[in-house]
Homo-oligomer: A and B are copies of this chain.
Amino acid sequence: MPHSYLKPLLNNNGSKIILLVMDGLGDIATTPHGKTALETATTPNLDRLAKVGTLGQTIPIRYGITPGSGPAHLALFGYEPLEYVIGRGALSAAGINLPVNKGDIAARGNLCTLDADGNVIDRRAGRISHENAAPVIAKLDKVQIRGVEVDVRQVKEYRFVIVMRGDGLEPHLNDTDPQEVGVPPLKVVAQEKRAEKAAELMEKWIAEATKTLADEPVANGFLLRGFASDPGLPSYEHAYELKAACIAEYPMYKGVSRLVGMDVLDLVGPGAQGEFETAKKYWQDHDFFFIHIKKTDSYGEDGNLEGKSKIIEEVDQALPTLLDLQPDVLIVTGDHSTPAAMKSHSWHPVPFLIWAPMTHRTDLETSFTERNCARGGLGTFPAVETMSLALAHAGRLNKFGA
């Protein structure tokens, strides 16, 4: 549950909040004259908001901890990331809108190639094309065993999600992916006694399914990993009395949003402009809009500082579309840092900007950069406080105590 002290204070006043997340936004410069992606980008709109609003920086999980995207977003959404752990299987299933309910288990799968002895010789079935993998995955979807129902759905190319629906299935199972070639897929083993039923059923299904693929020329096997069940996240509606929407291009962010009960909106167009136009189209239907920009992270991972800063400029140029909606609160931040110089996620604090023209406290900072955010009026704070600040600035929290 998000902070339990919030719920009794909620005041659903109809105000509107936008949480704009540029994935991996935080960056580093390792010398005084070096520049981060935010410092490289020309961002007149963000700087104007920075000058008027309040800056700060967040610690995504804990000091020194480099987050994955799942926990980083859970924190932004107000769910203590050390408490709520979403298994990859559940996240992947949610990403393609495949429900995982209590008692169900989900896992991610790869098609693979097995040799005549049943050893894995290619963990990705020669990176088989989406079109060629589709009928193979459709075959898997048809394999059913007594006592459970199984759904298998293609994600992209050789990747799929499997959901086994039943009663009292526990997800504490090891991966069948051996993470190497020349050995057979691993057996499903229960890591806890209560997962033995699930292990047995899964083994049975795998045996049937493997037979079904026997005459496939390339994708004659599969590997499963990340067994997980419904993480049981309280919904935004329950926790915050917010009718929330997700605007994102990538399945994983749609997935984590669905797990907290957000409506995932169909995009009206590509890129930041397309996402912001989507917010405009559905503005009347929701109180809270989570908008996710992926490419800042992708370019960061590639070590492409220029590309990352161009995406930030694209967001900046599209920003008037959001501001024209006159949100009561606009937060601009990242889920974590992905410094281009490191080509990976990192633990560094994340720039944070809150603009709420009726309630923010203007600070001394005038530019939306890491260095300014470090001196901002909100100080350095845990990302899990983001929703508390959003609700407060939106007038959605009553006084605590008399």
Residue of B nearest to A91 (CB): B402
- Complex Cα spacing A385 to B59, Å: 12
- Residues of A350-402 at the interface with B, using a CB-CB cut-off of 8 Å, are 357-364, 366, 370-372, 374-381, 385, 387-393, 397-402
- Given known pairs A348-B361, A371-B364, the reply for A379 and B57 (CB within 8 Å) is yes
- Given known pairs A30-B362, A359-B342, the reply for A381 and B381 (CB within 8 Å) is no
Contacts of A397 in B (CB 8 A): 64-66, 347
- Given known pairs A347-B392, A375-B364, A380-B379, the reply for A63 and B385 (CB within 8 Å) is yes
- Complex Cα spacing A385 to B397, Å: 24
B5 touching A65 by the CB < 8 A rule? yes
Residue of B nearest to A377 (CB): B374
**Contact flags (1/0) for A32-74 with B, using CB distance below 8 Å?**
1010000000000000000110000100011111111111100
Option from B34, B70, B371, B385 in Cβ contact (under 8 Å) with A402: B70
- Complex Cα spacing A344 to B398, Å: 11
- Complex Cα spacing A82 to B85, Å: 26
- Complex Cα spacing A234 to B388, Å: 30
A57 CB, min distance to chain B CBs, angstroms? 7
Option from B63, B393, B400 in Cβ contact (under 8 Å) with A61: B400
- Complex Cα spacing A387 to B378, Å: 22
Contacts of A349 in B (CB 8 A): 361, 377-379
Residue of B nearest to A386 (CB): B63
- Complex Cα spacing A375 to B374, Å: 7
- Given known pairs A377-B374, A378-B380, the reply for A68 and B400 (CB within 8 Å) is yes
A64 touching B388 by the CB < 8 A rule? yes
| Extra A-B contacts (9), CB below 8 Å, given A88-B402, A349-B361 | A5-B65, A30-B357, A30-B358, A67-B400, A72-B401, A81-B401, A85-B401, A347-B389, A374-B375
* A interface with B by C-beta (< 8 Å): 3, 5-6, 9, 28-32, 34, 51-52, 57, 61-72, 81-82, 85, 88, 91, 339, 342, 344-349, 357-364, 366, 370-372, 374-381, 385, 387-393, 397-402
